[in-house]
Each structure stands twice: as structure tokens, then as C-alpha cells.
Amino acid sequence: MTSNRLRTALAIVFLITCSDQAGKGDDRTPVAGLNLIHRILQSANVPGSLAYSGCGFDKRVPPDLPPFGVLDESGTPEEIFKKLFSADPAMQVRREGSMIRMKEANVADDLLNVRVHHISFFSADASNSDSVHGPRMALLAILESPEVIAFGREENLKGLPYPDVGIMMPGDCCGGGRIMQGELENVTVSQALDYVLQTFPSFWIYESCVTKEGARSVYINFH
């Protein structure tokens, strides 16, 4: 696992990224789309996940989103999202327990199914900064697990925090006073991401890309 000192340094980088992005891009279509998804889920008081194929993250902008259809906010959350994603025939929307799952049928989601033996989040006294306990640092704890790193190397996946490469995580790392804590045993990456939503309710994004050169990249984030 990354040392506490490195975690703190990374948190500072994330805060700078967060501040840099906060003054930009509210007029970008992907940002508006992510905010719309968040608002629908928040109105229904349910968390969710969005998994799809795309390569927007390679451009260092908010990720591409599947095309939207008609926005009609009548009905259940599942019905609303089915209408919202009606322009994407591959998108499947279903409820799984308390979660709303939005997932393209053809997305390569093998990384989400990787099973991790142990994940440890952060103790309350690790730092005075809530960024150390925020959702992006929780994401780092998941992605730097040995099983995820080994799978990424085997599949030659880009976008993971390999020890010899590093990764610039997305901004908006701050916990807002909430603290991500806990220990997980024998869980999939998807289940670990769901667990983070118990502390930071919203939704997680998984974008899988195959570049023109045939390389695979992944983008995972919490909104």
C-alpha cells in the first residue's frame, strides 16, 4: 500500500486539480450530463453506477458519455434513465438492491470483476485533512491493491496506479467532513466501489477504451 506520506502528497495534488477544475467547464456537455445523472439519483435518494465504452478520458477532459435521449423525469429512477439513455441501444438500466445500474452490454468490464483479498481504508487520525479520507483516496486504495495491479499488468491496461508509473487521479477529492473508513475482505472491484458510496452517496463511473492502436485504457471515478 502507498505510504501515509505519499497519500498526503497525492491528496495535495488532487486538491490542486480540484481547484483548477472548479472554475472551468460547467458549460461542458459531459459535466452537465454527469450533473444531470447525479440530480436524478439524488432526487430518488439512491446511489448508482455507470459503465460504458468510450475514450474521452484520454483527452484529459470529463469523460465522453453515452448519447442521451429524451429527458422525462416522470416514473421510477429506472424508467427515467431508460428514457434518458434511449439513444444508446446498448445501454441497460436495472435496479440491483438499492443501486441503479446503468451499463452498456458491450463494455469490457473484466476489471470490475477482479476479486481483491483485502482493502483497508483510512483511520480517522491519519490526517487533519479530509481529502485523505475522501472518495478519490478511497479509489486509490482500491486500484492499488495487488490483485488489481497484477490484473492490469497481465492485460496491459492503462489508467491504473502502477508503482513505477503513477497516475493523476481526478479532482474533487475532498471528503466534505465525511470520513472513508473500514476494511473489506474478498470483494470484487465493483463491490468495493459500491461500498464507498455508503459514505459518499452518488455514483461511480467506469469507462473502458480501446485506442486506435489497440491498447486498452480504463477510467474510474466517483461523481
The percentage of residues in the chain with a pLDDT greater than 90, rounded to a whole number, is 48
pLDDT tens, position by position, 16-74 = 333 333 333 333 467 788 899 999 999 999 999 999 998 876 554 556 789 898 889 99
Whether the CB-CB separation of 41 and 160 falls below 8 Å is answered with: no
CA 113 and chain centroid, separation: 15
Report how far residue 42's alpha carbon sits from residue 27's, in angstroms, rounded to the nearest whole number: 21
More confident residue, 185 or 167: 185
As beta bridge partners, residue 222 has 204
Mean predicted lDDT score pLDDT of the chain: 80
Burial-class residue 136 by CB neighbours within 10 Å (0-12, 13-18, 19+).
buried
Q: What is the count of structural domains for the chain?
A: 1
What number is the average pLDDT over the span 128-139? Answer: 71
Q: Domain residues for 36?
A: 4-222
> Under a CB-based contact definition with an 8 Å cutoff, are residues 133 and 180 in contact?
yes
